[in-house]
Amino acid sequence: MAVGGGAPGPSAPRRRMRLLSLGTTFAVAFAAVTATVTLLVGFLSYNAAARLVRVDQQSVFDEVVRDLRDEVRDNRMSPHDFSSAAPGHDLVRPARTDVQVLGPDGGIVDPGNPGLPVVDDDRRVAGAATAGRVVVHAGVDVGDDVYRVATVSLGGGRGAVQVAQEFSDTEDLLRALQRRTLVFMAAVVVGAGLFGWWLARRITRRLVVLTNTAEAVARTRRLGIPVPVAGYDEVGRLGRAFDRMLGRLAQSEEDQRRLVQDAGHELRTPLTSLRTNISLLRRIDELPPDSREELVADLAQEARELTDLVNELVDLAAGQSDTEPPQRIDLADVAEDVAGLARRRTGREIVVHAAGDTTTHGRPGMLTRALSNLVENAVKFDREGRAPVEIHVAGPARPGTVRVEVRDRGPGIADDDLTRVFDRFYRAADARSLPGSGLGLSIVREVALAHGGAPYAFHREGGGTVTGFTVAGATEGREEAET
């Protein structure tokens, strides 16, 4: 039986991911920014418009009152002169302005439309001896409307004129403007949200494809899944980089698989021989002395070959994932170091020839290992040793490259084998009786390819073989190192 309050179902994280997706975040952020800007602009615009309308209305009212004061000061006027029936006095009756005339006692002589209330201050002004005295009332309720009222004395106790301006309709107009502004801002916010959602979907659509591809790779562990991303913006560049990364990972996985398969195949022969010889050790007392010596020598030889094979496998694997940082290096100096070590190990004469600019950006350990393998291979096959082994370093052999090659006077390599000597575990028919694993030259190929070059082998004029490789020169190598 299910118990309430348990952990959320498997769809809850997916719903949470959708709610927190980049598209949703972008749409909400876009709508929030638009709402903030719209509210700010709307608020400032409304305040500016309301202030302008109110100031304009106040200016109109003040001008009407000022004109009325000037008229009663300049002319001796009576309440009859401002009667609505008297011609020529429309000056004080502009649009949306109400006029009411008071007698000497403050009584209404000519009522306004609508009629305006009269208070004690208005009666005192009506009985004033001085013309142009003014009393102003703000916020006077007349029916359902609100007015501002100014009472101007005619002087000599002859009465007064009340001028009123309705401003409740102005406030109604501003409230309507406020409502429309709010509706407009709401529409802008909703529109911005929808547009932000559409824009976010359009922008993040390719990111979603990349995410789905990455999840598919993680789920299936298949590195060959294509990445269907196009474009030349940041998302397109990310997609192409991701596709290249998957390609390199797939190639690396294939290289590792092939290395393990090849290594397993090559290890079977020495292991089988060792197992056979070890089984003979149980009957070593029954063997004659010569057979015993031969058995021990055979075991020692198999152990050495197995050790060499394992060491070369380790070197090859390390070369594929070498983390040694590239640096500026002179290949002529590397050749001198390799030659000195080979002389001490083999006692052979090894000479170095260098010409041109032989500097590059590369990994010293890998390049030393590759050149050492070429020299050891030359010494091993040139068993007679009648001529010195030559190391030639020249740069640039062609624009942007440095050549490193080893020349010997050995028996040479058959034409059919020249194109395969750099394959893993490949050994020519006349070399299978010699010690070795067939990995030395394949390490040379891996190092050359890692440095933007390629291996090569050809017959040497006058007999022997030339084996070598190219690497990127100083300029190209520097760019490779920086990338």
User: Is residue 186 in some structural domain?
Assistant: no
Q: Is residue 403 classed as helix, strand or coil in its secondary structure?
A: strand
Structure token digits, residue 351: 């000479």
The DSSP bridge pattern shows strands 389-395 and 350-356 to be parallel
User: Is residue 201 in some structural domain?
Assistant: no
Alpha helices in 321-410 (DSSP H): 331-346, 364-381
Matching residue, tokens 């291979």: 377
Whether 136 and 273 map to the same domain: the answer is: no
Amino acid in the structure at residue 61: F
Task: Report how far residue 116's alpha carbon sits from residue 438's, in angstroms, rounded to the nearest whole number.
Answer: 118
The DSSP bridge pattern shows strands 97-102 and 327-330 to be unpaired
User: Is residue 482 in some structural domain?
Assistant: no
User: Is residue 208 in some structural domain?
Assistant: no
User: Is residue 396 in some structural domain?
Assistant: yes
Q: Is residue 297 classed as helix, strand or coil in its secondary structure?
A: helix
Q: Could you tell me the mean pLDDT of each successive run of 10 residues in the chain, 483 residues long?
A: 44 49 73 82 79 76 84 84 62 64 88 86 87 86 82 89 78 75 82 80 78 81 75 78 82 75 65 78 79 80 72 62 77 92 84 91 86 86 80 79 90 75 63 53 85 89 89 54 39
The count of C-alpha atoms lying within 13 angstroms of the C-alpha of 213, restricted to the half-sphere facing its C-beta, is: 20
Whether 393 and 283 map to the same domain: the answer is: no
Whether 294 and 155 map to the same domain: the answer is: no
Domain boundary among 323, 354, 370: 323
Q: Is residue 284 classed as helix, strand or coil in its secondary structure?
A: helix
Burial class (CB in 10 A: 0-12, 13-18, 19+), 59: exposed
Whether 384 and 361 map to the same domain: the answer is: yes
Among candidate residues 381, 364, 400, 354, the one with its CA nearest the CA of residue 460 = 381
Structure token digits, residue 475: 């300029």
How wide is the angle at C-alpha 132 spanned by C-alphas 131 and 137, nearest 5°? 130
Task: Report how far residue 259's alpha carbon sits from residue 115's, in angstroms, rounded to the nearest whole number.
Answer: 108
User: Is residue 71 in some structural domain?
Assistant: yes
Whether 299 and 424 map to the same domain: the answer is: no
What is the total count of domains within the chain? 3
Task: Report how far residue 152's alpha carbon sits from residue 308's, in angstroms, rounded to the nearest whole number.
Answer: 121
Whether 48 and 117 map to the same domain: the answer is: yes
The DSSP letter of residue 3 is -
Q: Is the dihedral of CA 414, 419, 421, 426 positive or negative?
A: negative
DSSP string, 116-179: PP--HHHHHHHT-SSTT-EEEEEEEEETTEEEEEEEEE-STT--EEEEEEE-HHHHHHHHHHHH
The DSSP letter of residue 92 is G
Structure token digits, residue 441: 């030259």
Q: Which domain holds residue 131?
A: 23-173
Whether 167 and 65 map to the same domain: the answer is: yes
pLDDT at residue number 169? 65
Q: What is the CATH number of the domain that holds 35?
A: 3.30.450
Q: In what order do the strands lie in the sheet with 97-102?
A: 108-110, 97-102, 160-166, 145-153, 134-142
**Whether the predicted model's global pTM rises above the 0.75 cut:** no
Whether 357 and 403 map to the same domain: the answer is: yes
Cβ 169 vs Cβ 19: under 8 Å? no
User: Is residue 270 in some structural domain?
Assistant: yes
Whether 290 and 368 map to the same domain: the answer is: no
pLDDT at residue number 322? 55
Q: Is residue 304 classed as helix, strand or coil in its secondary structure?
A: helix
Cβ 110 vs Cβ 82: under 8 Å? yes
Task: Report how far residue 442's alpha carbon sits from residue 469's, in angstroms, rounded to the nearest whole number.
Answer: 12
pLDDT at residue number 351? 93
Whether 57 and 152 map to the same domain: the answer is: yes
Which positions ≥6 away from 451 have C-beta within 8 Å?
360, 362, 363, 366, 367, 471, 472, 477, 480
Whether 131 and 230 map to the same domain: the answer is: no
Structure token digits, residue 443: 């390490």
pLDDT at residue number 165? 81
Burial class (CB in 10 A: 0-12, 13-18, 19+), 97: middle
Q: What is the CATH number of the domain that holds 412?
A: 3.30.565.10
Whether 267 and 162 map to the same domain: the answer is: no
Cβ 171 vs Cβ 182: under 8 Å? no
pLDDT at residue number 479? 41
Burial class (CB in 10 A: 0-12, 13-18, 19+), 164: buried
Cβ 361 vs Cβ 481: under 8 Å? yes
How wide is the angle at C-alpha 352 spanned by C-alphas 350 and 355, nearest 5°? 165
Residue 144 Rama label (left phi>0; alpha psi -120 to 50; beta): alpha
The DSSP letter of residue 91 is G
pLDDT at residue number 372? 86
Q: What is the CATH number of the domain that holds 245?
A: 1.10.287.130
Domain boundary among 296, 323, 350: 323
The DSSP bridge pattern shows strands 465-472 and 108-110 to be unpaired
User: Is residue 96 in some structural domain?
Assistant: yes
Domain boundary among 290, 323, 356: 323
